[in-house]
A and B are shown apart, each in its own frame.
Chain A
Amino acid sequence: MDASFLQPIEAAVTLSVIWIGLGLIGLAFMRAPRLVSHAVFPAGALVSILLAATGLWAIGAPPSAAILPAGLPDLPFHVRIDALSGFFLLLLGGVSFGISLFAVGYFRDTEAATLGQLSLQYHVFLASMAFVLIADDAYLFMVTWESMALSSYFLVTTEHHEERNRKAGFIYLLVAHIGAISILLCFGVLHGGHGDYTFEALRAAELSGFWATVAFLLAFFGFGAKAGMLPLHVWLPEAHPAAPSPVSALMSGVMLKTAIYGMIRVIYDLIGGIRWEWGLTVLLFGAATSLFGVLFALMQHDLKRLLAYHSVENIGIILIGIGLSMVFVGSGHPVAGALGLIAGLYHTLNHAVFKGLLFLGAGAILKSTGLRNLNEMGGLIRYLPHTALYFLIGALAISALPPLNGFVSEWLTFQASLQAPLLESSVVRSLVPIVAAVLALSGALTGMCFVKVYGVAFLGQHRHELAEKPREASRWERAGMLWLAAACLALGLLPVFMIGQLNNVSQALINAGLSNEAMASDWLWLVPTSSAQASYSPIVFLLVIAVVFELTYLVVRQVYHGRLRRSDPWDCGYPEQTSRMEDTADGFGQPVRQIFAPVFLIHREIPRADDPQPVFKQSVQDRHWYWLYRPIARFTEFLSGHVGKLQQGRISIYLLYSFLTLIALLVFAQ
């Protein structure tokens, strides 16, 4: 490969096409499942890592564009890659590398016919995401956006013999299309009736204030639906658990991020002229989404459903970062805006990495024990020590604990919110730190949730007698998890490198980056504005704890002794300790259920005192179904009932309709 002749865009397009090719090969060789799982998926992983490298290359390189020899005759596909696309390609490639490696092991026992289809859909899904990221006209964007939605729909309904999964797929498809319509309308507004649909033309279009706001709202809700923002989040906790685990990891880790990409692309790049009111809207929706997501996550006992609700929460955190950035940019403080944007983007990457890892961990548990219900797990650390370690890293990262990566991006978001005194409006100035406090609350609640998950699933006693001893994940699966766990550590310990790349993205997007002092700091210290204001060094952090750990260990052994005796647990002298006396996942969430009771819709069945077989039943539901979705569904039913009257069943009536339409069109066309 000669770098001077090869542009990033060519590399990206080639790699994406290779993915489609791999998918087709997988379908063609579905008689040889061993080949599909052990050759096609690793090859896909290789493409992933190359794509990640391309992305990294594109962040630093000037934008490069091309026109593809495909599409409609007079509507060719435009593609372009700039720093923002490059960053998201890096995310896509980096995360899907781990997931594809995991998939090799995970799908090794899958039935041959299913595997062939799975391979096709999986790789088409990956390729469409890549194309969404490099599309440079509304046409290609919508086409690939739809093919992304469809291929993931088929992946969600892989196990379509189960009624629940089909239903989940339907809800997913429905919300995805509502979002797509909104995005399409947004492009229409941007287009304004003249010029063509290339992003170049849309960017150049001058919108009046009102239409710019309309375009913003359409884009925000369209992409928000795909991202899982409140109140359009309902598909997420249904679809993620239904899909096979690597696919859930891909959907939650990467696909949601394409929605974030779209939001940033359309709002920052295409609409432009950001106003602080828009930022405030994003900020408040983000805060509500993050709090809501984590509260519902705490109520779940299905591990994958719980993780899906955490995706909702993390989308909220990303939106908080982006909203802060928009507020600052809109009120004329681009440097603070750059900080918010970088925080948001960094959390996007971090969430992709640790959520991918956690879904893979959930997949490993499901594969080896067949369990998804936390209330039946327990003590898995003794059987799956590697998975337990990786899962612990993911859990600490998502709980925003130093020195891992989740903390870095939340810390940057806090720093951005502390720039609030720059703002003129006193209400916004007071709201911004309060939003930061909501972020702190959801961070702390996440900590609680993952103590619950880890404590109930991996620690404690076994709650459920399994037919056979759970086996540790295979080597491929462990390699996938190891890759993502290592990424969590690297992004947490050496944030400065990635912040430098993100600074390029921010420069390209809003013509502003972090302050010179911030960029001048060396690799050890992360400095968002100036070193007098704040700094953070995860390496020193980890090093001090590790050194004290080691020293204490040695000193205690030297001065005293290291004698150890095993015995039964003490537990205040209660003689018998069965696993039924531990907290279940639901029990652990009880304080939250009590404190935030008005948020939830709780149904309880409490047995009477004289009940011979007392059973306690409880379910927690989402209020949104009742106040938002059910009325809409009823209205739709009502409407379609009336429209249904048009259907007469007689050919001549239908011909009449066609005739009338023709007449109307002719009249209209005059």
Chain B
Amino acid sequence: MNLPFYTQLINLLAALLLLLAFAMLTQRRILSLINLFALQGFVLVLSTLVVAYSTHQSHLYYSALLTLILKVLFLPWIMHRLIHALNVRWDVETLIDIPATMLIGIVLVIFAFNLAAPISQFAGTITKSTLGIATASILLSFLMMITRRKAVSQVIGFLTMENGLFFAATSATYGMPMVVELGIALDVLVGSLIFGVFFFHIRETFESLDIHHLEKLKER
């Protein structure tokens, strides 16, 4: 088994992406969660750059730059400021305890890998086997959103999911600029969405950021 060097590199970065997604799943502190998110963004930038360089897709450089600015620098900065302002640096409360979450996570990973295996056999790209990892990290971030109580960590979960989607896009279909464009558009969308959610919650936080307060909004 000797894959080309760039494929190896991308595989390594993909593995790091998954590692970080898992680390975020087990992380209790919001501050570390944000740092991990930034780090994941950085790995994403690196992998995009490697794909861009190895396949000479110049438009990918732009999306890498955009990711760098948006996800590594801007969003973490905003969130750092936010949690400072809101003073929510305490431990994240989880709905399910962490070992159980991890077990579910492992099952999800097996499921995702199994799901992606037949698809990636048909893909001709050099990064085909990373599709499974992208799927896994999307599912893991979904899991994180489900199990967390605090709105901030839910938003981070959402952004992580977007990272996974973006990675899937670059790794599976780097030949199609449209998808990349779509990715960028999605980024912008995400950005606006976050602020929507945040403004909503800042209004909400006369008491707290705990989302179980939202349960009051239902009828009856």
Q: Which A residues have a C-beta under 8 Å from some C-beta of B? A: 426-427, 430-431
User: For residue A431, which residues in chain B have a CB less than 8 angstroms away from its CB?
Assistant: 110
Q: Which B116-130 residues sit within 8 Å CB-CB of chain A?
A: 117
B101-120 CB mask vs A (1 if < 8 Å, else 0) is 00000000010011001000
What are 8 A-B pairs at a CB distance below 8 A? A426-B113, A426-B114, A426-B117, A427-B110, A427-B114, A430-B110, A430-B113, A431-B110
How far does the alpha carbon of A431 sit from the alpha carbon of B114 in the complex, in Å?
12
Interface size class of B (residues with CB under 8 A): under 10
In this complex, what residue of B is CB-closest to A598? Answer: B100
Add 6 more A-B contacts to A427-B114, A430-B113 (CB < 8 A): A426-B113, A426-B114, A426-B117, A427-B110, A430-B110, A431-B110
Residues of chain A contacted by B114 (CB below 8 angstroms)? 426-427
* Minimum Cβ distance to chain B for residue A434 (Å): 8
Residues of chain B within 8 A (CB-CB) of A426 are: 113-114, 117
In Å, the complex CA distance between A431 and B110 comes to 9
Q: Give the A-B contact count at a CB cut-off of 8 A.
A: 8
Give chain A residues whose Cβ lies under 8 Å from the Cβ of B113: 426, 430
Q: How far is the CB of A283 from chain B (nearest CB, A)?
A: 15
Contacts of B110 in A (CB 8 A): 427, 430-431
Q: How far is A115 from B106 in the complex, measured between Cα atoms in Å?
A: 57
In the bound assembly, the distance between CA atoms of A426 and B115 in angstroms comes to 10
- Chain B residues whose C-beta falls within 8 Å of the C-beta of A430 in the assembled complex: 110, 113
Residues of B within 8 A of A427 (CB): 110, 114
- Top 4 A-B residue pairs of the complex, sorted by shortest distance between their CB atoms: A430-B110, A426-B114, A427-B114, A426-B117
B20 vs chain A, min Cβ distance (A): 21
> Smallest distance from the beta carbon of A98 to chain B beta carbons, Å?
43
User: What is the bound-complex CA distance between A426 and B117, given in angstroms?
Assistant: 9
> Which residues in A have their C-beta under 8 angstroms from that of B117?
426
Smallest Cβ distance from B194 to chain A, in angstroms?
35
When each residue 50-93 of chain B gets 1 if its CB lies under 8 Å from chain A and 0 otherwise, what string results?
00000000000000000000000000000000000000000000
Give Cα A248 to B208, complex, Å. Answer: 61
**Chain A nearest Cβ from B101, distance in angstroms:** 14
| A431–B107 CA distance with the chains assembled, in angstroms | 10
Report the Cα distance A3→B199, complex, angstroms: 94
Bound together, the chains give a CA A372 to CA B113 distance in angstroms of: 51
| A554 smallest CB distance to B (angstroms) | 48
> A431's closest neighbor in chain B, by CB?
B110
Cα A431 to Cα B113 in complex, Å, equals 13
Measured CB to CB, the nearest residue on chain A to B113 is: A426
* Cα distance A430–B113 in the bound complex, in angstroms: 10
CB distance from A607 to the nearest CB of B (A): 29
- Complex CA distance for A317 and B5, rounded to whole angstroms: 42
Q: How far is the CA of A430 from the CA of B110 in the complex (A)?
A: 7
A250 to chain B, nearest CB (A): 40
In Å, the complex CA distance between A427 and B114 comes to 7
Looking at the assembled complex, report how far the CB atom of A287 sits from the nearest CB atom of chain B, in whole angstroms. 14
Task: Give the shortest distance, in Å, between B174 (CB) and chain A (any CB).
Answer: 25
Bound form: Cα–Cα A434–B114 in Å: 16
Q: How far is the CA of A426 from the CA of B113 in the complex (A)?
A: 8
CA–CA, A426 and B120, complex, Å: 14
> Within the assembled complex, what's the spacing in Å between the Cα atoms of A426 and B114?
6
Q: How far is the CB of B60 from chain A (nearest CB, A)?
A: 30
Nearest B residue to A430, CB-CB? B110
Q: Bound complex: CA of A285 vs CA of B110, how far in Å?
A: 20
Distance (Å) between the CB of A288 and the closest chain B CB? Answer: 14
Q: Of all chain A residues, which has the CB nearest B97?
A: A598
A427 and B107 alpha carbons, distance in the complex (Å): 10
Q: Smallest Cβ distance from B1 to chain A, in angstroms?
A: 12
Residue of B nearest to A434 (CB): B106
Determine how close the nearest CB of chain B comes to the CB of A430; give it in whole angstroms: 5
Q: How distant is the Cα of A427 from the Cα of B109 in the complex, in angstroms?
A: 11
Query: Chain B nearest CB: distance from A440 CB in Å?
Result: 16
CA distance A431 to B106 in the complex (A): 11
Q: How far is the CA of A436 from the CA of B69 in the complex (A)?
A: 45
- Give the Cβ gap from B129 to chain A, nearest Cβ, in Å: 12
- Specify the chain B residue showing the minimal Cβ separation from A595: B99
Shortest CB–CB separation between residue B120 and chain A, in angstroms?
A: 12
B43 → A minimal CB distance (Å): 24
In the assembled complex, the Cα of A430 lies from the Cα of B108 at a distance in Å of 12
| B109, closest chain A residue (CB) | A430
Give bound CA distance, A165 to B80, whole Å. 67
Q: Tell me how far the C-beta of B64 lies from the nearest C-beta in chain A, rounded to whole angstroms.
A: 32
In the bound assembly, the distance between CA atoms of A427 and B108 in angstroms comes to 12
| Distance, CA A427 to CA B132, complexed state (A) | 13
Complex alpha-carbon distance, A541 and B117, angstroms: 43
Give A95 to B62 CA distance when docked, in angstroms. 75
Taken together as a complex, chains A and B put the C-alpha atoms of A427 and B110 apart, in Å, by 7
Complex CA gap A427/B113 in Å reads 9
1/0 per position for B197-212, CB-CB distance to A under 8 A? Answer: 0000000000000000
Q: Can you name the residue of chain A whose Cβ is closest to the Cβ of B132?
A: A426
Which of B110, B113, B117 gathers most chain A CB within 10 Å? B110
Instruction: Give the distance in Å from the alpha carbon of A431 to the alpha carbon of B109 in the complex.
Output: 12
Return the chain B residue nearest A427 by Cβ: B114
Contact mask B127-155 → A, CB, 8 Å, 1/0? 00000000000000000000000000000
Min CB distance B62 to A, Å, is 36
**Which chain B residue lies CB-closest to A425?**
B114
